[in-house]
Structures are given as structure tokens and as C-alpha cells.
Structure 1
Amino acid sequence: MKVVNRIRKANQGRDPERLAMKYAAMRTDAFVFLRGTCHLFYDRLPKSGMFKSSPLVWCCGDLHIENLGSYKGDNRLAYFDINDFDEAVLAPIPWELSRLIVSILVGVPLLGLSNTDANILAQEFITAYVDALATGKARWVERETSSGLVRELLEQVRLRSRLDFLNKRTQNKKGQRHFRVDGKKLLPISDIERHQIHRFMQSFARTQDKPEFYKVIDIARRVAGTGSLGVARYAILVEGKGSPNQNYLLDLKQALPSSIAKHLEHLQPKWKSHAERVVTLQKRMQAVSIAFLHAVEIQDQPYVLRALQPTEDRVPLTGQEHHIDHLIGVVKVMGECVAWAQLRSSGREGSAIADTLIDFSGRKKWRNNLLSICHELADQVQDDWRTYCEAYDAGLFGPGEDSLKR
């Protein structure tokens, strides 16, 4: 029951409706469970050996195979990179690598591939990471030279029109758009919340060069991701460059403490807020960050404001059939992106300099040791998921969970 109590504690205070969606999703399979329990993963992580002595780098903190994807940068060009920094912290290299490797070991067999295939992919990721780190030069994914799933995602983002995107998320009635509140991606918002967000946006707009761009047309609660479900999150429809077909969609999400930081608190800088941490490290680690990225505050609570990024822009590994040859190309790009992010942010507020990272890439012992430990961690994820399934099926994560806990 320790697993049950840890999950409950980590999700205290979240929006009950979206939290119920999260708990139901986590029952689906071990990979979704892994995505929804970042805190549990780092509680299980070894705290000695290479996990203590390796060079320190800036980490996204929740690195798994579906937290890399495509997006439009603030220069309106399409990029493929790490795209979730809610858990971002300073940590030894294996803390970051282990989570992605475990996500491969847990997630790939669910695609109909073998455990041997998963092991091959994990090794390919490590090799690509090491090779990119050894160059000492931070690069980014080029659309012209990319291939396979990564190229498809970049093309999808590049060719997507704002009007098509607007029409999927909103409905146009007599020249005025409103959100399609479908109970899946978007939920209704209370009058109190609407007033708070509307008032904040008015204040925020006054600080921008074009305040009329941020005039609010509609607001809804947003459903996206797994780990953050239940956290205060909103989709905001704004005037943009003109109604109805030049409106823009923004995402506003509450920033919470990192699940990793409690284990490495002595290493972290003193941030003004968790939103500042998320935004600063996203800008530091990505080649170009998503449009409209800001750290903001609403009633003394930190939030991250940015362009709304569709969930379909991530690598679509789950729910589809893939051949291992296709996935090798994807995990290689992922390994490169992780190395480039670490090089790009090297030598900043405690992170290792590039020379130290290059030296680390040349060491061989840690690679096999890390893969062996990740197999043990993957087995632990499976065990924890089975424990969770039993508790969920017994009703311990239903509407009456608080009374059951008491």
C-alpha cells in the first residue's frame, strides 16, 4: 500500500475531474503509469554510484519517449526537441538518461515488439547520445535531413494552417469563435476561474507591445498529458491578429515543484518561482523555444503561459504498430536531442562544462551499468503498476478515495 499512498500524496489538491481522468489513464498500461508517476520513479532511483558521482547537467526531469516532439518556435519555424520541462532541475546525467531508457524498456513491448527489440533500442539511444555528446557541439534537428517519424512530425507542424487548427478546437458562429467543450480535450470553466484568468490576461496584455493581441475571447479548462492532469490548466482563445480566422490559442498551466528537486535540493539555484524555473530551463535547453513562452503569476501562484501545442505533435509511439527499423531512427534522434540540450546548457549555474561532458562520453563502464540498472527499474515499474491496478480495481482511487484513506 506504500505505492498507493505515495500516488495519493503526490496528487493531493488537484482538480477532481481531471484527476479521475489521470487515474483511469494510469490503469491502461505500465507505460502510461510510468508517465503519470514521475515522483515514484525518482523515489526508486539509486542515490549512489554513478547516480551521485556523474557530471551535473540541466535535465528536463521527465524524459520519456513521448516527451519529445515537434512544435513551432517563436520564429514560426518547425522544430523537434524535448518539449516538457515541468520537472526540470540540475542533476547527475544518469538521472535524466535512466527515465528515457526505462520508458523504452517498458513502452516498446506494448507496441508488439520483443524485449530484445526494446534492449536494442535502448542501446541505440545510448550510442547516439554518447556520439553527439562527444562532438562537444550543440546542434538541432534539420527538417531537410530528417527522416521517418521525425520528418513526418516536422512536416505536419510546418504545413498546419492556423485556420485548420482553430476549426478543430473552436466553432465559428456569426464571426465569433468559441471553444468546442467536448469533455475530452476541453472542459467547462467556472465563472470564478473565468473571471480570474480574464483579469490576469488584461493585466498581462498591458505589459506587451501589442496588448490588443491578447484580448480574451473564450477560456476553457484543458485536458492534456498524463503526469500533470489535475493541475490547474487552461486553453485561452485570444484576438490575435483578428477575428475570426486570425485568432490564436494559448496554454496556461500552473507550475508545481519538481519531483526530482527534493532528492537534489542542495544543488538547485534559488528560483523566484517554479514558473521561472520551467521557462528559464526550457529556453536554456532548447535551440528555439515555443512561441509566447512566459513565466507569470496569478493570485500568488506561478503559471507558464505559451502557445497551445497539440498533443498529436509528439512522437506517436503508443497505439500504433511500428517496425524496429523505424524506431531506431527515432531513438537516435532522441539521444542526439538530449546530448545537444545538455551541451547547450553546459557551464550554467552549476552544470558541467562541455569539456567535462566530452570526457564523460568517452567512458564506457557507465553505459552497461546504466542499462543493467534500467532493466531493474523497468521491472519495478511493472510491479508498481500491478499494485496500482489492484488498488484501482478495488475502488481505492475512485470518488470515495479520501474517505477510504481516513
Structure 2
Amino acid sequence: MTNNIIDRIYHFNLGRNPKLLELKYKAMRSDVFTFYRGTCHLFYEDFPKDSPLNAAPPVWICGDLHLENFGSYKGDNRLVYFDLNDFDEACLAPCTWDVVRFITSVIVGSHALKVNESEALHLSNSFLDAYSNALAKGTPKSVEKETASGLVKDLLRSLKNRLRPEFLDQHTKQKKGKRYLIIDNKRIMEATEAEQQKITKLISNWHKSTQKDANFYQVLDVQQRIAGTGSLGLERYAVLVEGKGSPDGNYLLDLKQTKTSSLQPYLTLPQPDWSSESARVVAIQQRVQGTPPALLGVIVEGNKSYVLRELQPVQDRVSLQAWDGKLERLEKLMQTMGEVTAWDQLRSRARQGSPIADDLIKFAHSSDWRNQILKYAISYSKQVELDYQEFCQKSSILSS
């Protein structure tokens, strides 16, 4: 494998929408933390095959755990939770892989957090303490409004006043009592007529085959959606459907193409024979989260597959800048994220190759892995900085 960062990024992103790919590269040039978020594949390409961290118990991981991959959502029981929220790279892998990627994100993202090196290490240890303590107890829990604290509690409390009509007004315009998506080329970009027809037909065929409510899923508008960092350039659509009635009962859906996990080339553990890549994402998300999100589904078109989910008024992330100079607020956030990570790994135990709780409890009580994670995260964060500098200097090649 070449060490040329530009070559590695170019080959990984081959075949993506050029206009959206340029947006991805522009975002990645903005700061090193966004670069890290957009290059999960580099992290696993570089991760040493002989690392002792590879001997940790295998669990179902999200594969791309970092500071921005936690958030709120409404479950299919209509309650709001705080949990992991991105499973594009999800697979069965050593439990340490998610943890070391997260700790590296804390160190790489220290400037985004506005903390110094010493504080970043302190926050990393707060996460590791909470993760190991929760894992050692062996009992998964969930974070909802009544059980949240600190910045997460502030987030979940703020969501109660978000109403669907106001959410729809932010993303749509009305004409003669019907809503249409607002094309602003920031969050929504115009889809071609062929794309609109294709997605409308896909959803129509899907709800017929799954016996979903045809009236609810009647498509009113389809446009391209601009969201995320790592997945930018893949097919993604915002879909406005009739829902519970026009205009204020309409629902917004996200339809996102799924590709093979970027961890796949480096996995040594047998993986299930998923019917599609989107089936992999949805199945792992359902076994990891305490309560799966509302309207989560899989749509297949030939050799392509898509994850369908609801875009919700209550969907949001914790503001990483909202700690107001009080480090204990960030400490509590790290503790919550550490607990959620452990609980999700425990929740998916004993499923298709993952261990029983006793194995994870035993691992939590061992000590070597913590120092190994910190040592590698500190070392690799320096490599990320070098890669970022090279990318900024040479990324114009990718647009030529």
C-alpha cells in the first residue's frame, strides 16, 4: 500500500458524485478533526495487525466511533434517547477498535473542543473510566431524558419544544397547501427527474412488499441530501412523504446508499452473510441500540442497497462548545459517552460470534488495554496531523 495520502483518499472515494465529493474534500480541509472524521478508512489501513488490542473480545461495533457520532433520536416507542447514531461501518470486531478510534478523536479534536493536551488526556481517561466501569457491571442501560445528566440532559430537555410543523417549515416551503423541499445547495441539492422517479418507484415497491402504509409513504418530493462527512458523494436523498396528512403531518425521510464497511479488508473474524450492506447496518443498529429509531428500514435495488430512516425534529448532537469553560461538563459528557459505548457492546452480546457478558466483564477488569489505547491514540494523532497537512497541500490534485 502506498503511503501517499492523496492516492489513498482518491482510490477510496472512486465512483462517488464529483460535486458532492468536492464538498467532502472542502470540509476535510477546514480542520484536522473533520479530516479525521472523513478518513475512517485511513485509520484502519494504518492500524497494526500485531497490536495486542486486536486480541480483545469481539463485539458488534459501530466501526467509526468519534465525538460527533453520538446523538438524540426518537425510538419506535416514540421516546427520545441518546445513543450512537452512525452504523455505516458497523461489523463484528475487537471491542477496543471503537474505543481507540474514539480516544484518538478526543486528542485530534482537542482544538475543536477548545482544550489543551493535558485536558484532552484527562477527558480521555474520564471516558475510559466510565467505559470500563460500565462494562465491568455487565448490565446495559439506556440514556433518556429522565436518566441523562449534564450536556446530554440539556440537549434532551431542549428537544421537547421542537414541533413537527416548525421542523417542516425549516426544510420545506408550501404552495397551495402542499409542501416541497427547499433547495439551498447547503443541505438539499436538486435531484434529476430520473433520480426522483427512481426513488419514488423504489419506495412504492418497498411499502407494497413490506405491507407498509401506502398513504403514509406516498412520496411528495425527492431531492439530493447533503449531510455527513465520510459518506459524502454516495447517493443520499431527502424524501418528503404524506405521513399523517398534508401539510403539517408530512414526514421527512433520509434514504442513504450503503457501501461495504471500510473495516472489511482488515477483519479476521467471520462475518454473517448479510443479504445486503444496508441489511448489515440495520441489523447491527437494532441489536446495539436499546430501542431502534422510528421508521428504520432497508430498500434494495439490484446490487445497491439503501437505509431508510426518519429525519426527526428531535434529532441532534450535543454542542461540543457548550461547556462554557467548565471542564466538569465535558468530563460528564465523556462519562456518558463511555457508558453508552459499553452498554451498546453489552446489549449485543452472545450474537453471531460476540461473547457472553462474563467475557466482557473479565476484560474490563484487566488493565493493560487502557495504557495501550492511550499510547496508540497519542502516537496516531500525530500521524493524523501530518496526513492532514499533506492533504491540505496537495488536495487540489483530487479536483483536477
Same fold (TM over 0.5): yes
Counterpart among 84, 87, 96 of residue 85 in structure 1: 87
For the residue of structure 2 that corresponds to 1:313, the secondary structure is coil
Superposed, 1:105-144 pairs within 5 Å as 105-144=107-146
Q: TM-score, normalization: structure 1?
A: 0.95
Once residues 106 and 314 of structure 2 are traced to their aligned partners in structure 1, the CA distance between those partners, rounded to angstroms, is: 19
For the residue of structure 1 that corresponds to 2:234, the secondary structure is coil
Q: Kindly indicate whether the alpha-carbon contact (under 8 Å) linking 2:92 and 2:269 is maintained by their aligned counterparts in 1.
A: no
Match of 1:287 in 2: 290
Gaps in structure 1 of 5+ consecutive residues: 401-406
* Amino acid corresponding to residue 389 of structure 1 in structure 2: C
**Deviation of the 1:369 alpha carbon:** 1.8
| Alignment deviations for residues 111-146 of structure 1 (CA, whole Å, 9 cap, x no partner) | 321110000000000000001001100101131232
Once residues 376 and 103 of structure 2 are traced to their aligned partners in structure 1, the CA distance between those partners, rounded to angstroms, is: 10
Counterpart among 226, 236, 241 of residue 238 in structure 1: 241
How many positions carry a matched residue from both structures?
397
For the residue of structure 2 that corresponds to 1:221, the secondary structure is strand
| Alignment deviations for residues 354-398 of structure 1 (CA, whole Å, 9 cap, x no partner) | 000000000012111211111011111111111101112xx2122
**Deviation of the 1:3 alpha carbon:** 0.8
| Alignment deviations for residues 278-330 of structure 1 (CA, whole Å, 9 cap, x no partner) | 00000000001111111111243111001125797012226986532211111
* Amino acid corresponding to residue 290 of structure 2 in structure 1: A
Superposed, 1:95-174 pairs within 5 Å as 95-174=97-176
| Alignment deviations for residues 241-294 of structure 1 (CA, whole Å, 9 cap, x no partner) | 100110000000001000111100542121111001000000000001111111
Match of 1:210 in 2: 213
For the residue of structure 2 that corresponds to 1:91, the secondary structure is strand
The answer to whether the aligner puts 1:335 opposite 2:327 as a matched pair is no
**Deviation of the 1:22 alpha carbon:** 0.3
| Alignment deviations for residues 92-111 of structure 1 (CA, whole Å, 9 cap, x no partner) | 12211011000001112333
Q: Kindly indicate whether the alpha-carbon contact (under 8 Å) linking 1:171 and 1:179 is maintained by their aligned counterparts in 2.
A: yes
Q: Kindly indicate whether the alpha-carbon contact (under 8 Å) linking 2:138 and 2:360 is maintained by their aligned counterparts in 1.
A: yes
* Amino acid corresponding to residue 174 of structure 2 in structure 1: N
Superposed, 1:319-358 pairs within 5 Å as 322-358=325-361
| Alignment deviations for residues 30-62 of structure 1 (CA, whole Å, 9 cap, x no partner) | 100000000001111122242221111110001
Counterpart among 187, 193, 196 of residue 194 in structure 1: 196
* Amino acid corresponding to residue 77 of structure 1 in structure 2: L
For the residue of structure 2 that corresponds to 1:397, the secondary structure is helix
Once residues 271 and 369 of structure 1 are traced to their aligned partners in structure 2, the CA distance between those partners, rounded to angstroms, is: 33
Match of 2:66 in 1: 64
* Amino acid corresponding to residue 63 of structure 1 in structure 2: L
Once residues 361 and 298 of structure 1 are traced to their aligned partners in structure 2, the CA distance between those partners, rounded to angstroms, is: 42
Once residues 30 and 311 of structure 1 are traced to their aligned partners in structure 2, the CA distance between those partners, rounded to angstroms, is: 29
Q: Kindly indicate whether the alpha-carbon contact (under 8 Å) linking 1:224 and 1:311 is maintained by their aligned counterparts in 2.
A: no
| Alignment deviations for residues 70-110 of structure 1 (CA, whole Å, 9 cap, x no partner) | 01111111100000000001111221101100000111233
* Amino acid corresponding to residue 74 of structure 2 in structure 1: K
Match of 1:404 in 2: none
* Fraction of identical pairs, as percent: 46
Q: Kindly indicate whether the alpha-carbon contact (under 8 Å) linking 2:5 and 2:391 is maintained by their aligned counterparts in 1.
A: yes
Counterpart among 296, 304, 307 of residue 304 in structure 1: 307
- The RMSD of aligned alpha carbons is 1.6
Once residues 352 and 150 of structure 2 are traced to their aligned partners in structure 1, the CA distance between those partners, rounded to angstroms, is: 37
Once residues 131 and 322 of structure 1 are traced to their aligned partners in structure 2, the CA distance between those partners, rounded to angstroms, is: 27
Once residues 188 and 202 of structure 2 are traced to their aligned partners in structure 1, the CA distance between those partners, rounded to angstroms, is: 20
Q: TM-score, normalization: structure 2?
A: 0.96
Match of 1:180 in 2: 182
Once residues 127 and 287 of structure 1 are traced to their aligned partners in structure 2, the CA distance between those partners, rounded to angstroms, is: 22
* Amino acid corresponding to residue 307 of structure 1 in structure 2: E
* Amino acid corresponding to residue 384 of structure 2 in structure 1: V
Superposed, 1:384-403 pairs within 5 Å as 384-392=387-395, 395-398=396-399, 400=400
**Deviation of the 1:210 alpha carbon:** 1.7
Counterpart among 30, 33, 41 of residue 32 in structure 2: 30
Once residues 325 and 171 of structure 2 are traced to their aligned partners in structure 1, the CA distance between those partners, rounded to angstroms, is: 29
For the residue of structure 1 that corresponds to 2:295, the secondary structure is coil
Match of 1:364 in 2: 367
